[in-house]
Chain A
Amino acid sequence: MLTQAPKKPSAASPKAGRPRHAMSGTGGRTAALFLTPFFTIFALAMVAPVIYAMVLSFFAQQKSGLGFGEAKTAFVGLENYLQAMQSDSFVSGIGRLVLYCVLYIPCMVGGALAFALLLDAAAARARKLFQLMVFLPHAVPGVIAALIWAYLYTPGVSPIVSVLETGGISLNFLDNQMVLPSIVNIAVWEWTGYNVIVLFTALQAVPREILEASRVDGAGEIRAAISIKLPLILPAVSVIMLFTVIGTLQLFTEPSIISKATASVTSTWVPNMWAYDAAFNRHNLNQAAAASIIIALMAAVLSWTVTRFSSRNKA
């Protein structure tokens, strides 16, 4: 999807009236002028840091003898990677991230899809207001969303907990079992509305004649939604899946905030927190570098898989 889309514009609008020799000479030079600022920043803020982290990840600070005296930097090969992959906390962090994905992606994408289809079936007048309300959480920064929900999970302050208690249910949202679903809920709250708008926009592009034809053939609203609208907006769904999968690997803000409210979230709860902890609490920068590289690699593999999967799906 992503790799195909940008081709469209350049094909639709042929060379922008450049002189014929633009291919090699002046075109390249002018393009360079326009591209240099971006690629300079790109090199400084993405390429160089990742390369430097890769280099760092192959070294370690080693203390000689009894551990007194200056630490020496020594080349250790893949040692840092092995240590991270063998560390229980890092591996269980990955496990939690997987579980988080398994809960979060179906809930969020399914919820967004359901909501978008409902919105498409709603009266035109109400749509605008619904869209604005559903988008509201996206205007709330992740930190603030996590803070709000942290209070909504805290007994004594939370209206949810007190309503449940009136109903005779006592549920601790922040205990060991519940804290992961609770964090999933924060992310669902933050991202569903954004994706509702994306999917709703895609639904608006579904040709009305097709829907009209299906109605004439006797298909009900639900039937039309499942067998006509849904297949037609699958490309938009796969783009959402791609960005959602990348997004889940970023998981850091919400658990960091929640970790202050409960002991169930440890300082190494997800890989990003593990890397942060390695750098700032364990002062092992080399291991932090290795962990960051592992996370970036996981992102690369995942987004490659999703892209492959969704392009096959479309074919």
Chain B
Amino acid sequence: MTGILAFCILTQPPELAPAQNLMVGVRSDGYWVLWEPSMTDSLILRYEVFRDGELIGRAEIGEYEFLDKGASGVHTYMVRAVGGPRYIKEIEVWGMKLPLLAWQEGGYADTRPVSVEPLAGLAVSHRWQGFGFSGYRLEWGFRPQGFVEVIRDGETIITLPPGSQSFTDASAVVGKKGYMIRDATTGQEIIPNIRARWEAVHFGGLTLSWNLPGQEGFTLMRSAEAREQDMRTVDHMPPEPVAQVTGQESGFVDRMASREMIALLRSRSPMNIYRYYLVSGDGSKVYFSEPVRPQAFNFMKLPVLIMDILFACVFFGFLFMARRGRPMFIRKIAGLEELDNAVGRSTEMGRPIVYVPGIGTIADIESIASLTILKHVAKKAAEYETPVIMPNFDPMVTAAAKEVIKEAYTEAGRPDLYNEDNVFYVSSQQFAFAGAVSGLIVRERPGATFLIGYYAAESLVIAEAGYSVGAIQVAGTASVLQTPFFLAACDYVLIGEEEYAASAYLSHNALQMATLKAEDVFKATFVSAIIVLSLLVSLGISFIFLS
């Protein structure tokens, strides 16, 4: 009897649970219905999405979203979890797997309906608080599960969403670091391990305001859309909680949004937009804002523009002086002085020259600078009748290099010596290129190698091959990480901007030399400013812009 009762109880299908956390996001192409799996997801056959009581679509298990294409205006959405036939247990009888406890398809569970409607004037604009505004950046080194309150001098200044690990307090006062954070769910207060670092904040945040009838409070959420480089692919980020606001509040400044927007702008992803949502306490009402777009001018880059303009003024000032015939003295650059000697040594040894422009493309400034140096080297090689071998990583650099060498040979009066076959494309695969160039150097045993251009990890592989055959090596790259490798393996190295200065330096043209002079003056000013301001800060004399 007990067994029969147990059988009857077990064969009753368990009660289905509805989908969880139903939320309706808004995208450029329609309303985006999102939910989390039901507690009884293994018993669910599919999910059905209803708009204003009408079935509009289905989602299979594993898909917890549905796009209502073209939807706009006020709608109410609901998701139904439909149960399917499932077996609780299988038994094996004579090698066959048979269902022991089974029930037929049946039952469904509906979520609470969620209404979504636009709210005009919710998100306003960026609130610009001026250049040089600063604050403390707090980092607490763990991911809280619930909402987090940031407390300054006993007063809660902001409630952050789950998972927040940092916050910048733009309203901070220098020296007042009495911060504490509290997990809003558990009430646990955490004081240690908060790192407060003073840093500049350039955006005040994004100001939101609303006028809604008194409610028990809202969860403020934010979603984002970012267009990829091809302008067609759109990356959608679902709504995520930003803060919790009470029913009495009618405004909020989303400071995190500006930080994220800066990050998105820095990623060069054009046309990112935000949308904000006010979700009622029980989740049944969703108000959303108009899309928030970036400002017409990226004020984050204002300091860059100011410095660029200042530099251009100094640049044109020196250019003007050079035109009036003022002599310009430029210090000697050993690497560039030795270019001719390296070609001469190669000629004396009766060996060719290998010129490697690195793994940059023609769009890289280093490749352009390298081609300028190539012309000088090729001209000298043509005068000394020494062949120049040039393996290339980029096909466009190959084409440009061919023209450069051809012109150099023509200018030297030896176009007959130009051999097009010596300038060739190898591979656009980094280490395939490194292997090919190393092999070439070992086989051809050049008297001199010139490794000038953009380099990454292959720098040392190629430089060591040159060292092993006893070639005199002149290297140059703007990559700070590769410079030590070149210093260890090469005879002469163009460090940093010396590579860019090469064309002006080698041309001995007064106008070009003037631009180098402008660069040096600007650099000296910067270094002096850094030294003076560091001393002032060390002595305790601090201004807001020094922080």
- Real complex partners, A and B? no
Residues of B within 8 A of A (CB): none
Residues of A within 8 A of B (CB): none
